[in-house]
Chains A and B, each alone.
Chain A
Amino acid sequence: QSALTQPPSASGSPGQSVTISCTGTSSDVGAYNYVSWYQQYPGKAPKLMISEVTKRPSGVPDRYSGSKSGNTASLTVSGLQAEDEADYYCSSYAGSNIVLFGGGTKLTVL
Chain B
Amino acid sequence: QVQLQESGPRLVKPSQTLSLTCTVSGASLSSGDYYWSWIRQSPGKGLEWIGYIYYAGSAYYTPSLRGRLTISVDMSKNQVSLNLRSVTAADTAVYYCGRDDSCGSVDYWGQGTLVTVSS
Q: Which of chain B's residues have a CB closer than 8 A to the CB of A93?
A: 103-104
Size class of the contact patch on chain B? 20 to 34
Q: Which of chain B's residues have a CB closer than 8 A to the CB of A52?
A: 103, 105
The answer on a CB contact under 8 Å between B60 and A57 is: no
B residues neighboring A (CB under 8 Å): 37, 39, 46-49, 52, 60, 62-63, 96, 100-107, 109-112
Q: A20 to B111: give the CA distance in the assembly, Å.
A: 26
The answer on a CB contact under 8 Å between A34 and B63 is: no
The answer on a CB contact under 8 Å between A89 and B60 is: no
**Can you pick out 27 interface pairs between chain A and chain B where the beta carbons lie within 8 Å of each other?**
A1-B63, A3-B46, A34-B105, A36-B106, A45-B96, A45-B111, A46-B47, A48-B106, A51-B105, A51-B107, A52-B103, A52-B105, A57-B107, A89-B46, A91-B47, A91-B105, A96-B60, A97-B102, A98-B49, A98-B62, A99-B37, A99-B100, A100-B104, A101-B47, A101-B49, A103-B46, A104-B47
Give the A-B contact count at a CB cut-off of 8 A. 65
Interface string of A1-24 (1 = CB under 8 A from B): 101000000000000000000000
Q: A45 to B47: give the CA distance in the assembly, Å.
A: 10
Identify the 5 closest CB pairs spanning chains A and B, nearest first: A97-B60, A99-B104, A34-B103, A51-B105, A45-B109
